[in-house]
Amino acid sequence: MAQIIGSYFTSHVPSIGAAIARDLQKEAYWSPFFDGLIPVRRWLSEQQPDVAVVFYNDHGLNFFLDTLPTFAVGAAETYANADEGWGLPVQPSFTGHRNLSWHIIENLVADEFDITMCQQMNVDHAVVVPFQLAYPQASVWPLRIVPIAINTVQHPLPSARRCLALGRAVGKALRSWPGSERIVVMGTGGLSHQLEGERAGHINNAYDLFCLNNIKDNPGALTHHSALDLVELAGTQGVEILNWIAARGALGDAPLRQQSRNYHIPISNTAAATLVLEPIGN
């Protein structure tokens, strides 16, 4: 049977990709963040996952404000990266795991999740940057992916409770997959940040630490805030914590250990973090 080896959570702000492109990882402004990826890479090297199920939010590459699904699951053979206008180098395409995608989709619909099925899909920096951080020397991505996009842009947003339930349903589907794949679940985005308006530059250290301190053993604590509460607490882009909550849900209720954790303020007016959780006994 397939095995969920754990979850890798990370920020995905485009300026990280720009820093990589400019080889700025060792500069004082960036090194506290990039140094936190060293144990993540070591863990991935030891665990050797075959597939990544990636909870992320699309930034207009696939969906715009006129047509934006709450939840969308990729079911493509290939996922291309494209120029988003940030000046980031376009990265290699990802290979999908189409059969696993359809297994997840079928199980989610059976569990009464109304999702959008995407047989053609591009991936933006919310998927690419976490892979650049995890596999900095890769010319070809070593994992196949199943991307799952969550709306964190156009209100009404899904609740944190619903995103946790989505993740749990995905985890149940993964545990019923008859293949032998080793699966890492990824949650990308955040932490607290806001890019526009009167609160541009908003960072909430207390809320970020609340999330980091509770997500392992008490993820339900992160569901007590409404979507609008999350905007108030974390900023309009900080609602990307929904991706982390969904990814945590996929790990289920088994006891977990924290393999790695890093938190740094700020990079590009963002509270940046990385976290690795794995089931005890792996």
Positions marked catalytic: 125, 193
Alpha-carbon span 103 to 178, nearest angstrom = 10
Which letter, b or e, does each residue of 158-172 get, where b requires 16 or more Cβ atoms within 10 Å of its Cβ? bbbebbbbbbbbbbb
Adjacency order of strands within the sheet including 182-188: 116-118, 71-74, 144-150, 51-56, 182-188, 3-10, 270-279, 256-267
Sign, CA dihedral 249-259-273-48, equals negative
What backbone phi and psi angles, to 5 degrees, belong to 248?
-65, -40
Residues 6+ apart with CB under 8 A from 145: 51, 52, 53, 54, 74, 79, 94, 95, 96, 97, 123, 127
Spell out the residues 6+ positions from residue 49 whose beta carbon is closer than 8 angstroms to its own.
Answer: 5, 143, 182, 183, 184
Distance between CA atoms of 150 and 58, rounded to whole angstroms? 7
Strand ranges inside 68-200, DSSP E? 71-74, 78-81, 94-95, 116-118, 122-123, 144-150, 182-188
